[in-house]
Amino acid sequence: MAGGVTDRGKVQHSTQWVRPKSGRALLVRELRKQFGQAARTAEEIAEESLAWMGQVQGITLPGCVRMSVPETSSRRYAPVRRRLCQITAIDVDEDSEVWQEFGLAVLQGRRLTRWIYEIYRQGGFASLTELAAWANLTPTALEHRLHPIRALGIWLPHVGGPRADQQHLALEPWLIQRYLETGDIAAERALLGITQGAWRRILRRFAEVAIHPVSAAPLIGYSRVETQQLQALAVEAQQRDHMAGLLRELMRDAFTSYRDPAEHVAFSPAEGQRYLEWLGQMVDELGLRSLGEGEMLFYAMAANEGAGARMRSASIVPVRLQFFTQEDALAGYRGASRRRVFEQKVGRIRRFATEAWEQSALLSLPDLGLLMGMHTAAIRRKIAAHNDAFVPTRGRIWNIGARPVATRRLRMPAATVAGD
């Protein structure tokens, strides 16, 4: 028991240095600083703003990346019939919370299911071998992460997987059905890595499909299979006395996530217009950063912020990172030993840190831990095992930490802007 508490404390200490650099946290900071909003109100407006930004064409939110995936579930044709799909490779807020509340193994499983359904909703099918590589897992480790989910009877659409049928629900419909039956899904949330915030969003989307099954599904991004399953569950919910009231309440609040954030009651008309203009500038900046396949934006602390920099006031900048490359694949599942990912892990750690450094930013070990889905201690061991190649982390550059690492003097890179 004591060991578990210690581990949880370490994770909390680690993630607390990453979450302030999420898009949501940066919005909250500006809403409080520039627009004088209270903390709770700023959180609400930030959530609405992110949902609104997600509907804007031509921009890619930080943490999202376009990847080539199979457009067929056939093992035979999956290698050659491909399409580009956008996945949320890293969701700093949710991933940090899942890790802190449920543990690293659950976070890894949560990322896998998130990628599987995001790909399917865009007309593709996930290759489990490729997903394992993205997650820095061997195929065996991936199966261990997915086994508890399969054991629940949840349908996972992927290459070589079973077709959808009436007996097996997709993840979100399965959760809704379980909630309708028992009224309590705490154990299921812990197993699947569904935070309270994520569960509230699932309930809201369920209500939106119940109200407007035709218009809501494309807006939310559900697949046809998920929409049909949720529609059937909505009919069932309306026939249950103990659920009818909840469903009506959810229906009243439906679509608030997609309204213009400037219309929030906390804003006066003038303030709302000023905030929308500021948010528009942020959207324009994201739209200008044309990302190639496999590239994503990630927020990091500026390289000139010294060891004593305070997170609340430090300069946080977006950097362009290559999420996964052909070199990674050759070091992992396409290489000589597909069941070893050590070299792939080392290569990705080095590349993430170096790419940020070249853009005048520095990644910390907690940043790298969240990017890689690994404990910071494991990141440190990987770096130490290949000490012949310099890895410019924030701790190494500024000699932060209990055991400073001797490094050669490096000149600060010339100021650059991610996307130039």
pLDDT band at 8 (very low <50, low <70, confident <90, very high): low
Closest CA to 79 of 177, 14, 159, 197: 159
What pLDDT score was predicted for residue 237? 77
Q: Answer yes or no: are the C-beta atoms of 53 and 279 closer than 8 Å.
A: yes
**Helix, strand, coil shares, percent, the chain, to 5:** 55, 10, 35
Per-residue pLDDT, 110: 98
Which carries the bigger pLDDT value, residue 303 or residue 313? 303
Reference 69, options 32, 18, 122; nearest CA is 122
pLDDT value, residue 13: 53
Name the residue with higher pLDDT: 199 or 245. Answer: 199
Average pLDDT, the chain: 85
In this prediction, residues 249-262 reach a mean pLDDT of: 62
Measure the CA–CA gap between 210 and 276, rounded to whole angstroms.
30
- Structure token digits, residue 303: 């390289």
Q: What is the pLDDT of residues 238-254, one digit of tens each?
A: 777 656 666 666 665 55
What is the spatial distance between Cα 340 and Cα 221, in angstroms, rounded to a whole number? Answer: 35
Query: pLDDT tens digits, residue range 361-393?
Result: 999 999 999 999 999 999 999 998 877 778 999
Q: Domain residues of the chain, as ranges?
A: 63-71+85-153, 294-398
Cα distances (Å, whole numbers) of residue 380 to 1, 140, 375, 385, 395: 25, 24, 9, 9, 11
Higher pLDDT, 388 or 36: 36
Measured CA to CA, the distance from residue 271 to residue 263 in angstroms comes to 10
The pLDDT tens digits of the residues spanning 73-129 come to 999 999 999 999 999 999 999 999 999 999 999 999 999 999 999 999 999 999 999
Token readout for 236 is 């069932």
Burial zone of 230 (CB within 10 Å; 0-12 exposed, 13-18 middle, 19+ buried): buried
pLDDT range class, residue 260, cuts 50, 70, 90: confident
- The residues that bridge with 410 in the sheet, in sequence order, are none
**pTM given for the model:** 0.88
What pLDDT score was predicted for residue 256? 46
DSSP of 83-119: EEEEEE---HHHHHHHHHHH-HHHHHHHHHHHHHHHH
Give the model's pLDDT for residue 254. Answer: 52
Q: How confident is the model at residue 293 (pLDDT cuts 50, 70, 90)?
A: very high
Weakest-pLDDT range from 274-288, 353-367, 382-396, 405-419: 405-419
* Neighbouring-strand partners of residue 316: 301
Whether the CB-CB separation of 333 and 132 falls below 8 Å is answered with yes
In tens, the pLDDT along 135-151 reads 999 999 999 999 999 99
CB 222 within 8 A of CB 230: yes
CA 330 to chain centre: 25
The helix (H) or strand (E) run that includes residue 320 is strand 316-322
Return all residues near 236 (Cβ < 8 A) that are at least 6 apart. 180
Residue 83 phi, psi (nearest 5): -150, 160
